[in-house]
């Protein structure tokens, strides 16, 4: 051994020349297999990169720390090693053969001989070196992979699409067999008893397989995807709906006078808006109602300004000028028009306001306002007083800008002070002196007679052709009082005519009351009479019937003169029987008694 080391140290090129024919084909073969493995991995990765399995496998690669291509090959390549042959290189005899479960096969000796013949044919035909040979034979779904050792060749029959890494596995098995039984392999003459553990090694190759998992339909994945899509769709729909509602609100703002939107945007689920707003315009916040936009998600920034819209200019002029009732301000064809009557002072203020209006805004036209002096308004007020019943103007004049008036006034007439409202006459400049008197106007006489006589409900007082007319029925006492009042009326006033009032005695009113009782269901009058100005009545009364005492109202019968004695009984009138049955039976809601 030391002699060999010294020889190699002295002449390393000699060892290189010896090993070169052995290692160079092995290196070339290893590089070729590595390239095939790379292309196979690349093809499978590209084929599955955009599929659902590809996404799952990418997650698995990230989770396990392996490359994506390795995970793809692991899941996508389906293969099965069905036969493994170990053939002697020197004699072509079959050393060992292992078959996978349920795999069909012919005579292994025949197959071994054919493989050896094919190998020899290729070598002889193409002048290949001794250590080279066929690596792969493909027939339909079957692949024959061959690994050549120093004394034996291992051939694997594979069904499907195996990964290139399987070459390394087969090669490792062949190397282990040579390490354990190299001398027996070199001297193999057909006796397999010298190779007891070979079939066990070959069995590891047969056990190599990777079949499709045939997973069922991924309901969980599909359900999760549908839930995600549904949630995304719902989110997009809600976002679109919120945007539509926001646009509706913006359209509403655009139609509002006095509101100018300068900018608006949607950021996330929040709405932002800014612009100008006249203080007299509608509140933008209140316009949110009905749009279904959440006010809490709206962020507004409004700057106040004075709009030149005619309606807002009109409101400001009305607030600043405080026009009198005789002046009406309105918008006509984009202009502010004032019409009516006003004082010189107010007209001057209106002219000044018209000149101060902003350029580009509506014109304030006051040409329709007539200048009325204070004296004219006073005379109009005096004329109004003279038309009022119960008021007599004795004297009126104007001195030093003050207004003076005296006269007579019925307490029942309109208050002269209240009539000043709307005349534009300054109440502080009016000095009035009124003496009370009783007017002979029919309406005032009627009011006094009504207050003093207190006619019963059966008597009606009215004014007919300047006469006070009484009609209806009353007692003798009331009629006598009415006659006395008629005689006391002032001469020159209206006549009080009571000829239309019929004298009704207490006995007549009593009989009318008794007749009324006899028509009431549940009441039976047994006896009634009148003695010494007192009224007596007895009978039967159902507790559910009307109270006889309440029927006295409106009859003008004095309740203090009525002496009643009623005995309770149960009337057989249907309405009373119905009430008792209802109270005792408590019928269900589905039962109706009638």
413-434 pLDDT per residue, tens: 888 888 888 777 888 888 999 9
Q: Taking residues 47-58, what's their average pLDDT?
A: 60
| Residues 224-254: tens digit of each pLDDT | 888 899 999 988 888 888 888 888 888 888 8
E strand or H helix at 470, and its extent?
Answer: strand 467-474
Q: Which CATH architecture has domain 17-210?
A: 2-Layer Sandwich (3.30)
Q: Taking residues 158-173, what's their average pLDDT?
A: 82
Task: Give me the pLDDT at residue 22, please.
Answer: 47
Q: In the numeric block, which tokens belong to residue 11? A: 């002449």
Task: Give me the pLDDT at residue 431, please.
Answer: 92
Tell me the fold of 507-585.
GMP Synthetase; Chain A, domain 3 (3.30.300)
Q: Cβ atoms within 10 A of the Cβ of 60, count?
A: 15
Q: In the numeric block, which tokens belong to residue 465? A: 């052709």
| Residues 342-369: tens digit of each pLDDT | 888 888 888 898 888 888 889 888 888 8
Task: Give me the pLDDT at residue 569, please.
Answer: 92
Closest to 291 measured CA to CA, from 239, 257, 246, 260: 246
Residues 363 and 11: their CA atoms lie apart, in Å, by 120
Burial 312-334 (b: 16+ CB within 10 A, else e): bbbebbeeebebbebbebeeeee
Q: Which CATH architecture has domain 222-304?
A: 2-Layer Sandwich (3.30)
In the DSSP assignment, the letter for residue 360 is T
Residues 364 and 360: their CA atoms lie apart, in Å, by 12
Residues 546 and 520: their CA atoms lie apart, in Å, by 8
Task: Give me the pLDDT at residue 218, please.
Answer: 61
Q: Which residues contact 375 (CB under 8 A, 6 or more apart)?
A: 398
In the DSSP assignment, the letter for residue 436 is E
Token look-up 């509608």 returns: 282
Task: Give me the pLDDT at residue 407, please.
Answer: 92
Task: Give me the pLDDT at residue 21, please.
Answer: 47
**Is 24's pLDDT higher than 50?**
no
Q: Is 222-304's fold the same as 507-585's?
A: yes
Spans of all domains in the chain: 17-210, 222-304, 310-371, 374-436, 442-503, 507-585
Residues 236 and 230: their CA atoms lie apart, in Å, by 10
CB 558 within 8 Å of CB 582: no
């Amino acid at each position: 051994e030391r002699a060999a080391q010294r020889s190699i140290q002295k002449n390393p090129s000699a060892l290189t020349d010896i090993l070169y024919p052995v290692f160079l084909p092995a290196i070339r073969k290893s590089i070729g297999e590595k390239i095939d493995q790379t292309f196979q991995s690349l093809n499978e990765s590209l084929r599955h990169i955009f599929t659902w399995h590809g996404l799952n496998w990418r997650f698995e690669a990230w989770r396990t720390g392996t490359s994506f291509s390795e995970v793809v090959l692991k899941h996508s390549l389906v293969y099965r090693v069905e036969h493994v042959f170990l053939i002697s290189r020197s004699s072509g005899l079959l050393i060992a053969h292992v078959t996978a479960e349920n795999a069909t096969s012919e005579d292994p000796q025949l197959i071994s001989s054919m493989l050896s013949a094919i190998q020899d044919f290729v070598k002889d035909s193409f002048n290949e070196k001794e250590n080279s040979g066929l690596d792969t034979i493909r027939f339909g779904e079957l692949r024959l992979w061959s690994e050549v050792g120093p004394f034996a060749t291992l051939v694997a029959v594979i069904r499907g699409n195996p990964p290139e890494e399987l070459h390394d596995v087969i090669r490792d098995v062949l190397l282990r067999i040579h390490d354990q039984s190299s001398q027996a392999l070199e001297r193999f003459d057909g006796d397999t008893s010298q190779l007891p553990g070979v079939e066990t090694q070959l069995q590891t190759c047969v056990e190599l397989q990777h079949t499709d998992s045939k997973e069922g339909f991924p309901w969980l994945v599909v359900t999760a995807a549908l839930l995600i899509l549904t949630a995304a769709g719902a989110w997009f729909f809600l976002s679109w709906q919120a945007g539509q509602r926001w646009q509706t609100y913006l359209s509403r703002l655009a139609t509002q006078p006095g509101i100018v939107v300068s900018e608006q945007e949607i950021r996330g689920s929040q709405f932002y808006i800014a612009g100008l707003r006249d203080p007299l315009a509608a509140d933008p916040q209140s316009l949110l109602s009905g749009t279904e936009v959440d006010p809490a998600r709206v962020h507004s920034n409004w700057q106040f300004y004075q709009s030149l819209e005619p309606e807002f200019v009109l409101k400001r002029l009305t607030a600043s000028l405080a026009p009198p009732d005789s002046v009406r301000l309105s918008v006509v064809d984009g202009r502010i028009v004032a019409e009516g009557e006003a004082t010189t002072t107010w007209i001057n203020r209106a002219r000044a306001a018209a000149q101060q209006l902003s350029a580009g805004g509506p014109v304030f036209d006051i040409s329709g306002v007539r200048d009325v002096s204070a004296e004219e308004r006073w005379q109009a007020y005096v004329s109004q007083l003279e038309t009022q019943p119960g008021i007599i103007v004795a004297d009126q004049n104007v001195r030093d800008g003050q207004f003076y008036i005296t006269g007579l006034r019925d307490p029942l007439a309109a208050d002269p002070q209240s009539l000043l409202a709307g005349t534009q006459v300054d109440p502080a400049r009016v000095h009035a002196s009124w003496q009370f008197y009783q007017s002979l106007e029919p309406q005032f006489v009627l009011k006094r007679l009504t207050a003093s006589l207190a006619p019963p409900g059966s008597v009606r007082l009215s004014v007919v052709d300047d006469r006070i007319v009484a009609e209806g029925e009353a007692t003798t006492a009331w009629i006598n009082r009415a006659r006395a009042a008629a005689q006391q009326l002032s001469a020159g006033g209206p006549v009080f005519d009571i000829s239309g009032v019929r004298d009704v005695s207490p006995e007549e009113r009593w009989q009318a009351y008794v007749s009324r009782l006899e028509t009431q269901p549940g009441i039976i009058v047994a006896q009634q009479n009148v003695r010494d100005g007192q009224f007596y009545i007895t009978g039967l009364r159902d507790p559910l019937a009307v109270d006889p005492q309440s029927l006295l109202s409106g009859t003008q019968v004095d309740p203090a003169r009525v002496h009643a004695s009623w005995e309770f009984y149960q009337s057989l009138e249907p309405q009373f029987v119905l009430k008792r049955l209802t109270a005792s039976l408590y019928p269900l809601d589905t039962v109706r008694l009638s």
